[in-house]
Amino acid sequence: VTVEERLRELEDREEIRALHVSNADALERKDFAAYAELFAEDGVLAAQLGGATGREAIRTLLEEAIGTDPDARPAAFHLVANPQIELDGDTARTRVLWVYLTHDEGGQPIILQLGHYDDVLTREEGRWRFQRRDITRDFGRSPLT
Amino acid sequence: MSDDLADRLQALEDQQAIWRLFMDYRRALDRRDWEAYSQLFTEEGEWMGNLGRAKGPAAIKELLENVPAGEFFDPQQGADFHLIANPEITVDGDRATSESTWCFITRNDEKEQPLLAMIGHYVDVLVRDGDRWKFQRREAYSDIPLTEFDTS
């Protein structure tokens, strides 16, 4: 293994971790244009609220289901944790835990739902992007229902 | 490549390998895969926490297999999650020490709502074992609710 390859692996892992944080950040800001940009051109999103292929379709799906007002109440955010990253050249697979935090009527923090992301990532034009993201809720309930 | 560069690269790789060890541990724990879990410890590796203490993979596996149902965690896999955060890892050659935070999230059966059931921290001694890292000692403390055990 060359120094170049060892460095590349460290850089890849760091960039992929940052991709997951950018994704949670875009979701928190309800900036679904930025969210969709994190996907490959023909990327696939498979979520409980529906599925979409391609950036434009992903953006439309999320804007219609969730809305675009970053100040909508109740306030909520996604905590992403436990990243597991398997690298294979220009492809990677990741599993990440997500925790949806919001508050109850009294203002106390609560975990409304949690689950995990299963992702296939691809290096496209020198950047890692989501080729496919499957979102699974393990327990709790959606704020949209 | 100068020794200095090689050392810096090695230090980053070691930190990441240790984080992956924590992820392997968490995954085995949440899957109740005690065989995989116990193999993350060296032959002399020791675990201690709420469930007791054990030394060596075979004894650690036996300890975990015999946790009474309903005590601390549901024996059924998939009903809860550990979330690992705030890793502080210090590598010194073939040894390392670390502290990290763990959160234990369970299912509230009545409401189907996730519940933050416990928060604690790990204090670890790690050693390089061939081409990977293993636990030489893991102390699993519960801070909320506070429980105490003998670490001597």
Q: What is the pLDDT of residues A90-118, one digit of tens each?
A: 999 999 999 999 988 888 889 999 999 99
Q: What is the pLDDT of residues B38-84, one digit of tens each?
A: 999 999 999 999 889 999 999 999 999 988 776 667 666 667 889 99
B5 touches chain A (CB under 8 A): yes
Which has the closest alpha carbon to A135: A30, A41, A27, A42? A27
Element holding B57 (H helix, E strand): helix B57-65
Query: Is-contact A111 B115, C-beta < 8 A?
Result: yes
Give the residue from chain B lying closest to A84, CA to CA. Answer: B23
Most B CBs within 10 Å: which of A2, A82, A99, as the mutation test of the B interface? Answer: A82
| Helices then strands, each counted (H, E), chain B | 3, 6
Beta strands in chain B (DSSP E): 41-49, 52-55, 81-92, 95-108, 113-129, 132-144
Highest mean pLDDT among A81-85, B38-42, B142-146: B38-42
Give the residue from chain B lying closest to A17, CA to CA. Answer: B16
Contacts of B83 in chain A (CB under 8 A): 79, 81-82, 97, 99
β-partners of residue B105 are B81, B116
Contacts of B78 in chain A (CB under 8 A): 138
Q: What ipTM was reported for this prediction?
A: 0.80
Test A139 with B16 for CB contact under 8 angstroms: no
Spatial distance between the Cα atoms of A57 and A45, rounded to a whole number of angstroms = 9
Q: What is the pLDDT of residues A36-55, one digit of tens each?
A: 999 999 999 999 889 999 99
Contacts of B77 in chain A (CB under 8 A): none
Test A141 with B113 for CB contact under 8 angstroms: yes
pLDDT of amino acid B7: 85
Smallest CA–CA distance, residue B110 to chain A, in Å, is 11
Test A138 with B113 for CB contact under 8 angstroms: no
